Chain A
């Protein structure tokens, strides 16, 4: 399923254990790494960015994350900024400076792709969620979102997280699959990811979520 393009794209190969970085890592310089997680209200964007932030904190980084609650929870657009580094000031990613965008829905990936910096990574779920407004013929869902993303993002990684989650037995594992894919873009020990995921997911689902994380990492 993985479609990767661009310079360092090797996402379809199984990453080596210690050398699995395909994107960029929080560096020792005073520059934050910027991850923008986007999707539709109700998809779990806020929880996913919370897990990522916990992972960064556990790995010893400074971290800030910011998003907007309220109106956006009723099926609206949700975007969560996560910034990781030795020292992070603003909780907001400067325009066009996202190192990685993780999109839970492909049209949302397209909506935010201009925030990706040159050489950045767009990781997107293949899922399509057509908003109710599209019943009005004025509005068209972009059926060619993935093709457009291919043109705009220097590095594109597409995975069908819903299908992968379903094959693991529970469609609700899709978010953890996406976190697995995201983990490849960050130079953070997998042990930390596994520990935080086990701690943050509902009781009794840790094993299934770790499998989902692994599946996302492999894709």
Chain B
């Protein structure tokens, strides 16, 4: 990694933030994985001289970060936009105490919800917590803004929000990386009135925050992070983040007010800019954050009447908006309409241990309260056996609530993954036990945080930086909390899965059932001997097509009755044998067993 200094590299925004953190002397980094933020910590973890860790959830990651900062270390804490909701409690009050070592919170937002349950605009958090916010527009700015943010953090004694979006975090652009700076850890100093937020000390600290905000309002007017690019005086575009790039693409000739430091906003400077151009257009994704601030200040501008308030922007949408008021031609329509091609929704992988559980739940007619992870895909056809998903850890609480009002006549299950259970499933489990709910909680333990690409967590026995550690024991934990019944089962054994689920339905109280198969992809790809369908024995019932396995497809062959005979593609088949377990005529066999059967016959 030492060689990655003083060079020009092609980096994603996330990688650039990690490199920028190392260059700026960051000593501590924490996070919970979440798209589009995950690669920041994965990259930082490789640098020497930084303690980098996955925490169980974003709140804990943030609090450990507070400690590192109070200990005097430069600190970075990273999460996806909805993770900031989880960390909002410490954030709102850390804004009062201020920092010792510089503290940067990276929020990676996901406009368009490419991989998220909502598209909230986290710029609002800067205003809510009264903390400064920086918004990079490419990877070079991601890299540079980390050090800027740390300097501002230390100078103004405040946590700083570095807000990115998917198209910043996951776009690769060239970056000039500098040499690494060494910033020593300053050490903790007792300052009760600053760090103990009881009412008597919190009141003066709130006053300090308001005074700090005034100082930041002066700073934002001067900092080169906010810059004017003069062009035609007919149009002035005020913008930030990736929206700046889309706007420059469409209307390079306009004058630009580019906000790099976007809270508090340099309203005096923008007002002066506005006075020198004929018309002000605000180009921003999601909420009218800039537009409203300008309007409150009495700066006439147009924004959301031209551009959507939902989804992400792109050059075409920006062009369309600007064309509505005749500033640019309409986007060209010389290309034909898209051709309708069958959808290709993401699916559970071949060999995924979750599949048999959802197939059983479907067959049982259960109501399933789900959670965030790969298994959320079980809501899609053909499994369609997950019926609610709100946020990390919500499954157990939702199942408990339904049970408490007897809102379902069917068996009710909560389904949650191992990483999500550690994140925020333990407290609702305590709630269910404490309030004597009749629920069954399935912990789908595949030993990894899979959806985000295979990250370690507190129940895997490994840390982010690769050392062995103690693993949470789910069975012992659930028993210690007082669950009525706790057992494990192998989801590759369909009969055992079925019996375990059926058994739980008959028992009252809180049942905790834990699966035991590792993820088919991480940490290593599972590949067993593939199965084959003996076409001559197949009755064409199609049951094996209902488990949503990518390795099984229809073939052109048909049975005597004209029903399609499925076929298994041996290359993706991992030999999990779910299809063989559920086949009513036992015509799905291991390749090596087919010969044997013939010999016996």
Contact = CB atoms under 8 A, between A and B. Distances in A.
Do A and B form a real pair? yes
Contacts of B338: 111, 114
A194 to B, nearest CB: 18
Contacts of A107: 341-342
B453 interface: yes
B553 interface: yes
A108 to B, nearest CB: 8
A63 interface: yes
Given A69-B36, A92-B315, A96-B332, A114 B339 contact: yes
A53 B339 contact: no
Interface in A73-114: 73-77, 88-97, 107-108, 110-111, 113-114
Given A74-B377, A117-B335, A53 B342 contact: no
Interface in B425-440: none
Interface stretch (B92-100, B165-173, B293-301): B165-173
A171 to B, nearest CB: 9
Contacts of B548: 132
B171 A64 contact: yes
Interface in A22-37: 30
Contacts of A75: 344, 346-347, 349, 550
Chain B contact residues: helix, strand, loop or mixed: loop
Interface residues of B, number: 57
A110 B115 contact: no
A168 interface: no
B335 A92 contact: no
B382 A135 contact: yes
A187 B138 CA distance: 26
Contacts, number: 166
Interface size class of A (residues with CB under 8 A): 35 or more
Contacts of A158: none
Interface in B550-572: 550, 552-554, 566
B314 A57 contact: no
A107 to B, nearest CB: 5
Contact of B346 (A74, A108, A148): A74
B374 interface: yes
B342 A135 contact: no
Nearest to A75: B347
B363 interface: no
Nearest to B248: A89
Interface of B: 8, 10, 35-36, 114-115, 138, 166-167, 170-174, 242, 245-246, 248-249, 252, 314-316, 319, 331-332, 334-339, 341-349, 374, 377, 381-382, 451-453, 542, 545, 548-550, 552-554, 566
Given A64-B173, A70-B36, A95-B314, 14 more contacts: A40-B344, A57-B8, A68-B166, A70-B114, A72-B346, A75-B346, A89-B249, A90-B246, A90-B315, A91-B167, A96-B331, A118-B335, A134-B342, A135-B545
